[in-house]
Amino acid sequence: MRTIKDYDDRKNEIIDAAERLFNAKGYEKCTVNDILNEVKIAKGTFYYYFKSKEEVMDAIVSRYTEIAAQRAERVLCLDTSPLEKLMHAFMAMQMKDQVHDDMLEELHKSDNALMHQKTLNMMVLSMAPVLVKIIEEGIEKKAWSCRYPLQYMQIFLASSLTLTDEGIFEQNTDSQKEIMAALISVLEKMLNVSEDTFMKAFMQNFG
């Protein structure tokens, strides 16, 4: 007898199966037919939920970025300084807290370059508006000043997520520390605060 499932249940089943297959075979080598066989559904059923394999990938990536955005949104409600909120928001973005190690490894493989790129892109798009709220609160409380909050946060996110991504740049421990120090210095300049204002807070949260 054919099993009839709730729309969201079936959609999530397809996403879950695709994630397992992308993990096992790599995104490029996995086909829609592989997903059909894994879920045991007809091609028409798949295309009822998704237009393409890439759209399934987008759904998987959205899971990761939505978790980070939700965690960062909760930071906005904390009864603490804008600086502390900013540090907590950065902590919420750490992919290792959200994605299994094997999935992170897959994202870094050349076969999954598109998936990797989309993850970075969606992280910037989802996190920048949250960071802007914190930046604007800091401006209101005169903790710092910033002429282009959204654009600066997009620039900072894009550069920091890329430069600290081990799948893009191979770095030793010393190089990683130097990159982080430089990124913090850039953020201080973006927010017009004195040098090393953020370093102590960063070390307390990430050191």
Residue 103: pLDDT band (50, 70, 90) is low
Residue 96: pLDDT band (50, 70, 90) is low
Percent of the chain whose pLDDT exceeds 70: 83
> Taking all residues of the chain, what is their mean pLDDT, rounded to a whole number?
84
pLDDT at 23 (0 to 100): 80
Q: Which residues, including other chains, have CB under 8 Å from residue 191's CB and lie 6 or more apart? A: 135, 138, 144, 145, 146, 152
- pLDDT at residue 162 is higher than 70: yes
Residue 66: pLDDT band (50, 70, 90) is confident
Q: What is the mean pLDDT of residues 22-45?
A: 90
Q: Which residues, including other chains, have CB under 8 Å from residue 70's CB and lie 6 or more apart? A: none
pLDDT at 155 (0 to 100): 95
pLDDT at 1 (0 to 100): 42
- Listed in sequence order, the DSSP H helices in the chain are 7-25, 32-39, 43-49, 53-75, 82-92, 101-107, 113-140, 149-163, 173-190, 199-206
Cβ-contact 149, 130 below 8 angstroms? no
- pLDDT at residue 24 is higher than 50: yes
Q: What is the mean pLDDT of residues 119-140?
A: 92
- pLDDT at residue 104 is higher than 70: no
pLDDT at 113 (0 to 100): 66
Q: What is the mean pLDDT of residues 61-74?
A: 85
Residue (of 93, 94, 96, 59) closest to 73 by Cα position: 93
Domains recognised in the chain with CATH numbers:
1-51 (1.10.10.60), 53-206 (1.10.357.10)
